[in-house]
Structure 1
Amino acid sequence: MKILFLSVGTLKKGYVKEGFGDYLTRIKRYVKVESQEVREGLGTTKAPKIDVMRKEGARLLEKVKEGDRVVALVVDAKAPDTKEFARVIEDTLACAVKRLVFITGGSYGLHESVIKRADRKLSLSNLTLPHELARLVIAEQVYRAFTIINGEPYSH
């Protein structure tokens, strides 16, 4: 299986880039992993929010392949605990899915077209997180899930 972290916008903050890169390296011990970014839809300040989201959504969906298992990170979904999340990863591994895609939206979130395409909606927290930080958190949680699945001591 391969994991794809698919996101709107580039990581700008150094500490987030460093942490995200570190977790990608750690995840590579278990599965193939990659990160792809699509351009933000912020063309002008006059663009309506829904138009920005629609453009970003179209760019994201261009990267999704038929047969991908897609997880959309959204605020209004259930936030699983760590063991539940590890079970989601483990169940996906058992289904012989070729690619598991975690999609993080931009500052306005994800367009409904992306959410409709998703096989699962997931919230990382009841708190609102900046989208850059959400990318770091999901990478850490994926790594943590693999340590749980493999009985390793990272998650106490």
Structure 2
Amino acid sequence: MKITVLTVGKIKEKYLRDGIAEYAKRLGRYCRLEILEVADEKTPDQASAAQEAQIRRTEGERLLRYIKDGDYVIALAINGHMPDSVELSKELDRLGVQGKGHLVFVIGGSLGLSDEVLDRADDRLSFSKMTFPHQLMRMILLEQLYRSFRISRGEPYHK
């Protein structure tokens, strides 16, 4: 299975880059992992709703350029479904059995994802009703993917 994490913005903090690199390395045993970054837009202080919508659209256009017709797209969105780790593992197994060979997880920028990206998504996934920095979500997603593969194979992993 190939997994692409398609995300807005670069990771600036070393501790996050280190954590992401560690989970990317661990995932190499279970899948072909690719992390793609698109440029983020600067959001002015006190941006209007129209400015924020335009920023989401611009970032969304950049993201959509990397999504192919046959990709199974899972958008990380606060209003997505919230499985626990075992349920996520079962969902990934189910997608594999259904022949979904390329999963694309999309993480938006600080303002979230555009409607166009959300409309293209085959599924929406939420990790919490709380808001997390989009840079941190990359590491959380990779950790949960790693946990899912370990669960699926009956391998031990801390709880």
Would you say the 8 A contact 1:57–1:113 is kept in 2? yes
Residues 77-156 of structure 1 mapped to structure 2, 5 A cutoff: 77-156=80-159
Q: Distance in 1 between matches of 2:133 and 2:102?
A: 26
Would you say the 8 A contact 1:147–1:155 is kept in 2? no
Does the alignment pair 1:75 with 2:78? yes
Residues 34-45 of structure 1 mapped to structure 2, 5 A cutoff: 34-42=34-42
Letter paired with 2:134: H
Q: CA deviation at 1:97?
A: 1.6
Q: CA deviation at 1:43?
A: 6.8
Residues 9-88 of structure 1 mapped to structure 2, 5 A cutoff: 9-42=9-42, 48-88=51-91
In structure 1, stretches of 5+ residues that fail to align are none
TM-score by length of 1: 0.95
Does the alignment pair 1:2 with 2:2? yes
Comparing 70-79 with 109-118, which one deviates more in the overlay? 70-79
In structure 2, stretches of 5+ residues that fail to align are none
Q: CA deviation at 1:155?
A: 4.3
The SS at the match of 2:78 is: coil
Q: Distance in 1 between matches of 2:80 and 2:44?
A: 30
Corresponding pairs, count:
156
Letter paired with 2:84: D
Q: CA deviation at 1:98?
A: 2.3
Q: Distance in 1 between matches of 2:98 and 2:22?
A: 27
Q: Distance in 1 between matches of 2:6 and 2:158?
A: 25
The SS at the match of 2:65 is: helix
Letter paired with 2:86: K
- The superposition leaves residues 11-54 of structure 1 with CA deviations (integer Å, 9 ceiling, x where unpaired) of 11111111011111111101110100000022766680000000
Aligned CA-pair RMSD? 1.4
Would you say the 8 A contact 2:82–2:128 is kept in 1? yes
Q: Distance in 1 between matches of 2:112 and 2:13?
A: 19
Q: Would you identify which runs of 4 or more consecutive aligned residues in structure 1 move more than 3 Å?
A: 43-47
Comparing 2-11 with 39-48, which one deviates more in the overlay? 39-48
The SS at the match of 1:96 is: coil
Q: Distance in 1 between matches of 2:145 and 2:158?
A: 12
Would you say the 8 A contact 1:148–1:155 is kept in 2? no
Identity of aligned residues (%): 39
